[in-house]
Amino acid sequence: MNKALEASCLNCLNRSDVFDSLKTDELLKVENCRVSIQYHPGEIIFKQGSPCYDFVCVTSGLVKLYIEGENDRKLIIGFAKPVDYIFAPGAYVDKRHHFTAIACEETTACLVSADVIQDLVKTNSSFASSFITKISIQAIGLCNQISSLAQKQIPGRMADTLINLSNNVYHSNPFKTSLTRQDLADMSGMTKESAIRALKSFREDGLVAIDGNTIELLNIPMLETVSKNG
């Protein structure tokens, strides 16, 4: 983790739109307690079970969010990219993180005191509305993921994972990813071996093309059918 990077909340171009409703004096409160940090690939931003003191806003790069289970099993529950924010629900409950956040690539993030954010939620209704809306969108995404994991077979789960990466993480097709095959397995709730077999099957059926770290969805309608049928 490198030293803090200089920036300003007042004129930042990588600021989440949730802050657009703040007045100048409120932005200054954020600025006065904010620190910008650079993380290298594989560096932990915060760990499951650790104290939760900060609101994290990703300004560049990509962050993986996952739950740590028994026997070193992991379940990836989402990603944070510019200009997403990560605000653990534990900040309002037990002041603990309930999942781990780790940089997938060179990443910068601004850390702001959770107490300041909570005060702004109490005093600025527009900010509170935007804040809750974004949290609600994240919660809906998590519900959809849980439904996929619980109700679909391996092909359907892998189809969901690839479509999600293309549409919601990289916003591109084809897309170049820093994620490993183990990461794809952890997103899909399966073993690495099962993930590799599913990808091989998709390639043989002409649904995807894979060249190193670049994945292209060749037949999106059929992938959506696989996803729907589970």
Does the pLDDT at position 13 exceed 90?
no
Residues 167, 108: Cα–Cα separation, whole Å? 23
> What is the per-residue pLDDT across 95-143, written as a single tens digit (0 to 9) for each?
999 999 999 999 999 999 999 999 999 999 999 999 899 888 888 988 8
- Quick one: which of 82, 78, 202 has its CA closest to 145? 78
Residues 80, 65: Cα–Cα separation, whole Å? 8
Give the pLDDT band of residue 7 (cuts 50, 70, 90).
low
Residues 229, 142: Cα–Cα separation, whole Å? 20
- Please give the CATH number for the structural domain made up of 153-229: 1.10.10.10
Q: What is the CATH class of 17-147?
A: mainly beta
Provide the pLDDT for residue 10. Answer: 79
> What is the per-residue pLDDT across 14-28, written as a single tens digit (0 to 9) for each?
788 888 899 999 999
- Contact 110/16 with Cβ under 8 angstroms? no
133: enclosing H helix or E strand: helix 125-151
Can you give the pTM of this predicted structure? 0.87
What SS3 class is residue 122?
A: helix
For the chain, the structural domain boundaries read 17-147, 153-229
Does the pLDDT at position 5 exceed 70?
no
User: Which pair of structure tokens corresponds to residue 120?
Assistant: 């702004």
Rounded (to 5) percent helix, strand, coil in the chain: 45, 25, 30
> Which of the pair, 36 or 3, is modelled with greater confidence?
36
Provide the pLDDT for residue 144. Answer: 87
